[in-house]
Amino acid sequence: MIRILILLSSLMQSFGATGDALTLERRSQVVLQPRKFLSNLNLQAADAEVEIQHLKKAAGRNEIVIMDTTPLSFQRNPAGLVKLSKSSGVKVLCCASPPSSVLVEIEQMKSEADTVGGSEKERSQTQRRIEEATKQVECEVRIGISGTRPAVYAGALGGFLVGSGKEPSAAGAPLSSQEEIALEICGRASLRLGGAPVIVFLHAPTKGCVSRVLDILGEAGARADRVALFNVCGAASVSGVAELKEEALAASVVLERGAFLGFTCSGFDGSGCGRTSVKGWEDREVMNPLHNPQNLVALLRLLMVDPALKERVRTQLLLSPGIRLKSDLRRWGGMGMSFVFTLLDNVFEGLETGTGGDMEGGGWSMDAKIAFRALIFSENPIRLLSFPWKPPESVAIEVDRFSCWWCGTEKRVDEERYSKYDFEYCGLDCLEDHRKTGFSRQTQKER
């Protein structure tokens, strides 16, 4: 049985608003302006259960693990994910990351400490606050997410978007100050957890942005082979040769440095190329790629021409459905999570018509397709998500005990007991025997 891991899908999230009702009749409006309909932003348990059933049919008898990446600002629901996992029989993981309020606080502290009049004390306080934030993120993996009983453990770090292009940390820098802080915290936590995986989405898939993300994580202690960067590629138009080359250059940086290269399939119908402006994660205006198989095929052809990158593509490529909205789900007219299987079949067909694939005599052999499918849907994501971590051992709870005054028997305080004056007895027989002595403190049963 092959384990299939479906990465990067928000299964349940809520914005606390209903807005205009989402209906299939409004499908065309929703695709053009997906955030205009507030009800489209709410992914609920019923939606997730229906979508998982579609996914299970597509996966056959294979075991499925889903990585839910709903960020803190979108009201992550770990307890709900546990219920969903139990009801559907599918394993569900979630991500741990610092909340935006903590990032704002640290950003302000760093700004004050870095001024001309900033003191060593202020810089020390900033580092101490970063240390506290790192421990909080680490605890979500090691001890469990706060407020969940029994404990729900996060299975990865990150899950946030970087490279928004707003409020850059320095002139020309690809990342904002808060994004750099978040990456540093996750990099530190990854090191302390023995190589916990870090998952990052990119808004600006350029060589400079990719290099900066990997540099920050590396300096903080995260190994490149424990990092996955998504949205690096796949949004450029097939006809845009310059755009494809730019994406291929950024993708080659990811592969050469040993990180995982993630291709996110949109939940939309995939009929168009280019980008549609939507209001995205962390309440920032981002561009949502409408991917289609031709984009990925064209990119892979460019990458696999290089013999040094060809094997890296096989062992470091990840495919993800990228579910974010109701309109992404099959229940509401989208392609759903199972679209990743169709996408890979289309990739095989596309590569067979060009160069760069594992072709012998002009086509992929069945064994080659099976091996490549196993890499993409099983071996690669398992290597990313596996790290030497074990849940903490259960701590023995010390229970108070008492000793019967008359016979000396020890019992737990929560068991049946009797008392008279300031004496404690294990039973009525002992109480009555002691009563006969007038409750003398000098007389006890022979032991």
pLDDT of 294 above 80? no
Full domain range(s) for residue 421: 401-435
Residue 283 banded pLDDT, cuts 50, 70, 90: very low
Question: How high is the pLDDT of residue 303?
Answer: 84
Would 444 be classed as within a structural domain?
A: no
Task: State the angle between helix axes of 339-352 and 366-374 in degrees (0 to 180), rounded to the nearest 10.
Answer: 140
Residue 336 banded pLDDT, cuts 50, 70, 90: confident
Question: How high is the pLDDT of residue 392?
Answer: 52
Compute φ and ψ for 96, nearest 5 degrees: -115, 135
Please answer whether residues 267 and 324 qualify as being in contact, where contact means their C-beta atoms are separated by less than 8 angstroms.
yes
Residue 248 banded pLDDT, cuts 50, 70, 90: confident
Would 447 be classed as within a structural domain?
A: no
What string of DSSP letters covers 47-86? HHHHHHHHHHHHHTTSEEEEEE---GGG---HHHHHHHHH
What string of DSSP letters covers 213-254? HHHHHHHHT--GGGEEEESSSS-S-TT-HHHHHHHHHHHHHH
Higher-scoring residue by pLDDT: 88, 73? 88
Residues 346 and 238 occupy one common structural domain: yes
Would 426 be classed as within a structural domain?
A: yes
Give the best-scoring range by mean pLDDT among 219-223, 227-231, 306-310: 219-223
CB neighbour list of residue 366: distance below 8 Å, 6 or more residues apart: none
Residues 218 and 345 occupy one common structural domain: yes
Residues 22 and 125 occupy one common structural domain: yes
Q: What is the pLDDT of residues 23-32, one digit of tens each?
A: 767 767 776 7
Residues 380 and 307 occupy one common structural domain: yes
Q: What is the pLDDT of residues 250-276, one digit of tens each?
A: 899 999 999 999 887 654 433 322 333
Would 392 be classed as within a structural domain?
A: no
SS3 state of residue 262: strand
- Beta-strand pair 418-420/423-425: antiparallel
The CB density around residue 408, as the number of other CB atoms within 10 Å, is: 12
Would 440 be classed as within a structural domain?
A: no
What percent of the chain lies above the pLDDT cut of 70? 75
Residues written for the chain: 447
Residues 333 and 418 occupy one common structural domain: no
Residue 317, classified by CB atoms within 10 Å of its CB into exposed (0-12), middle (13-18) or buried (19+), is: buried
The count of domains in the chain is 2
Which of 313-327, 336-350, 370-384 shows the lowest per-residue confidence on average (mean pLDDT)? 336-350
Residues 323 and 411 occupy one common structural domain: no
Q: Any idea what the CATH number is for the domain that residue 338 is in?
A: 3.20.20.140
Mean pLDDT (whole number) for 8-18:
57
Question: How high is the pLDDT of residue 1?
Answer: 44
Structure tokens, 114: 């870095």
Please answer whether residues 282 and 198 qualify as being in contact, where contact means their C-beta atoms are separated by less than 8 angstroms.
no
Residues 105 and 151 occupy one common structural domain: yes
Residues 229 and 92 occupy one common structural domain: yes
As a whole number, the mean pLDDT across the chain is: 76
Residues 62 and 20 occupy one common structural domain: yes
Would 445 be classed as within a structural domain?
A: no
Would 323 be classed as within a structural domain?
A: yes
Q: What is the pLDDT of residues 40-64, one digit of tens each?
A: 777 777 788 888 888 888 877 777 7
pLDDT of 185 above 70? yes
Question: How high is the pLDDT of residue 276?
Answer: 35
Residue 344 banded pLDDT, cuts 50, 70, 90: confident
Residues 299 and 155 occupy one common structural domain: yes
Mean pLDDT (whole number) for 107-123:
80
Residue 358 banded pLDDT, cuts 50, 70, 90: very low
Residues 234 and 152 occupy one common structural domain: yes
Residues 378 and 408 occupy one common structural domain: no
CB neighbour list of residue 220: distance below 8 Å, 6 or more residues apart: 183, 184, 185, 186, 187, 188, 190, 191
Would 393 be classed as within a structural domain?
A: no
H-helix or E-strand spanning residue 276: strand 275-280
Question: How high is the pLDDT of residue 123?
Answer: 85
Q: What is the pLDDT of residues 391-443, one digit of tens each?
A: 555 444 456 778 888 888 888 766 777 888 878 888 888 888 888 888 888 77
